[in-house]
Amino acid sequence: MKSLRLSLVGLAALLLTSCMVGPNYSRPSVPMTVAYKESSPAGDGWKVAQPSDQTPRGNWWEIFGDPQLNALEEQVTVANQDLKAAEARFRQARAMIGYARASEFPTISTGVGVSSVRQSANRPFSSSTASGGSSGDFALSFDLSYELDLWGRIRRTVTAAREEAQATAADLQTVQLSLQAELARTYFALRSADAQQRLLDETVKAYTDALQLTVNRYEGGAAPKSEVAQAQTQLDTTRVQATDIAVQRAQFEHAIAILIGQPPAAFNQPPAPLNLQPPPIPIGLPAELLERRPDIAAAERRVAEANEQIGIARAAYYPTVSLGAVAGFEGSSIANWLNWPSLLWSVGMSMTQTLFDAGRRHATSEAALANYDALVASYRQTTLTAFQQVEDNLAALRVLAQEMEQQQQAVASAQESLELATNRYKGGVDTYLQVLTAQTLALANERNAVDILRRRMDASVLLIKAVGGGWHVADMPPLAQARRAPDS
């Protein structure tokens, strides 16, 4: 008992003097500006975020005010298979916290052994008078082993697991945001195709009337046969364009079906031409982007995890101290197996120190440092890419708003030109070639106006995605909560 007390005193002294080796974590600096370059007062389609903004925190797509889009987005969260895979990876990371935390506690095992042994009378190195005999062994033991975390290796391993779980949670949000943005972009592309389809169908009707006009003039002797052929060619060409839109629309519809977890054959989206306008989008300040982008948060958490790995690698230079204990019963028969004289126990500590490993620990430490440097660079590059995406889409919205105004003027001019050319043709002043030219210009300008609107909606979605949607770093599972077991 005296030796046991001395062991306990030594254990307490070791625990009181234990420390954590390795660097303390500090978030790396990143390139930063006070404002976005493209956020000039003349910008359109965005606004600086204000505390009173009522933009939806989670359901950011509701800012577009489209009930059909809202219904589709809700299905992504519950049915998309890529999102389910990301959620499973997050649960896996949470489970690994419990695996790492198990090392903070003793490992206790038990064993039962029952054996009967008969010795050979002719066994080697036995006397000539030895005879064979038999004996029994009945054992019941309980073993305890526990590594004292003197240098913080186990604590850093648990912290690294929690930080990886946080990073994986941010990865899950990144996948979700990407899928939601992809659905919105595909949905607006589908509605743009519907707008193109309606425009081309109306144009086919107008060209059919124009063809009939040339036929009437030809039959009346007021126009040559060539003008009928020209009108027929224009009509047939436009019909081909109207038919070709169906291919794009079908592909967009199939893509939406996959995003919401349905086979294409089970999904149908009724035609609805695009007639929305990009809403004002709160963008905040560049410094806020670090808190609003889940991919940036994931990159930063993995830098913190790499910092813990440096400490784990350095702990390998120090001795490992373990506590061991065994208690149980051992008897020669079942009758005396569990008697008090059959009791056995032992307790003690052991310390191991690697003296030579041919540079293995040094290589592991250098690898951990290199991994940390790589993840810091990746974190900074992720931040720079985020800034670029915001700037790109701010510029796109600003320029496309100006382009839309110019395009609307071009459409009006083309329509006026077509009306004048048609009237002059009816009056016999011009040939049908002028009408064909005016028709081609009018259709091209109208189709370009539809495409510019699609690009504006696309840039709006990408800007929302670039600023993190409705996500904030406060939505990440707190590090302290990970101290509990995943199922607790």
Q: Distance between CA 289 and CA 463 in Å, rounded?
A: 12
- Of 267, 292, 289, 259, the C-alpha closest to 180 is 259
CATH 3.40.50.1400 fits 22-105+151-318+359-483, yes or no: no
Q: Distance between CA 155 and CA 14 in Å, rounded?
A: 16
Position 6 scores a pLDDT of: 53
Q: Are 223 and 214 in contact (CB under 8 A)?
A: yes
Q: Distance between CA 421 and CA 436 in Å, rounded?
A: 9
What's the gap between Cα 131 and its chain centre? 75
Q: Are 264 and 253 in contact (CB under 8 A)?
A: yes
Position 423 scores a pLDDT of: 93
| 352 φ, ψ (degrees, to nearest 5) | -125, 140
Q: Are 10 and 347 in contact (CB under 8 A)?
A: no
Position 144 scores a pLDDT of: 94
Position 56 scores a pLDDT of: 44
Judging by beta carbons within 10 Å of its beta carbon (0-12, 13-18, 19+), is residue 399 exposed, middle or buried? middle
Position 483 scores a pLDDT of: 46
Q: Distance between CA 279 and CA 63 in Å, rounded?
A: 7
Q: Distance between CA 361 and CA 9 in Å, rounded?
A: 32
Q: Which are the contacts of 122, defined by CB distance < 8 A and separation ≥ 6? A: none
From first to last of the 488 residues of the chain, give the pLDDT tens digit: 555 555 555 555 555 455 788 899 999 999 988 888 887 544 444 444 443 334 445 789 999 999 999 999 999 989 999 999 999 999 999 999 999 999 999 999 999 999 887 776 666 655 555 555 667 788 999 999 999 999 999 999 999 999 999 999 999 999 999 999 999 999 999 999 999 999 999 999 999 999 999 999 999 888 899 999 999 999 999 999 999 999 999 999 999 999 999 999 999 999 999 999 999 888 888 888 888 999 999 999 999 999 999 999 999 999 999 999 999 999 888 888 888 989 999 999 999 999 999 999 999 999 999 999 999 999 999 999 999 999 999 999 999 999 999 999 999 999 999 999 999 999 888 899 999 999 999 999 999 999 999 999 999 999 999 999 888 888 878 876 544 444 43
Span between the terminal Cα atoms of the chain, in Å: 39
- Of 338, 318, 313, the C-alpha closest to 328 is 338
Q: Distance between CA 486 and CA 96 in Å, rounded?
A: 9
> HEC states along the chain?
CHHHHHHHHHHHHHHHCCCCCCCCCCCCCCCCCCCCCCCCCCCCCCECCCCCCCCCCCCHHHHHCCHHHHHHHHHHHHHCHHHHHHHHHHHHHHHHHHHHHHHHCCEEEEEEEEEEEEECCCCCCCCCCCCCEEEEEEEEEEEEEEEECCCCHHHHHHHHHHHHHHHHHHHHHHHHHHHHHHHHHHHHHHHHHHHHHHHHHHHHHHHHHHHHHHHHHHHCCCCCHHHHHHHHHHHHHHHHHHHHHHHHHHHHHHHHHHHCCCCHHHCCCCCCCCCCCCCCCECCCHHHHHHHCHHHHHHHHHHHHHHHHHHHHHHCCCCEEEEEEEEEEEECCCCCCCCHHHEEEEEEEEEECCCCCCCHHHHHHHHHHHHHHHHHHHHHHHHHHHHHHHHHHHHHHHHHHHHHHHHHHHHHHHHHHHHHHHHHHHCCCCCHHHHHHHHHHHHHHHHHHHHHHHHHHHHHHHHHHHCCCCCCHHHCCCCHHHHCCCCC
Position 51 scores a pLDDT of: 37
Q: Distance between CA 222 and CA 190 in Å, rounded?
A: 44
Alpha-carbon radius of gyration of the chain: 38
| 44 φ, ψ (degrees, to nearest 5) | -135, 150
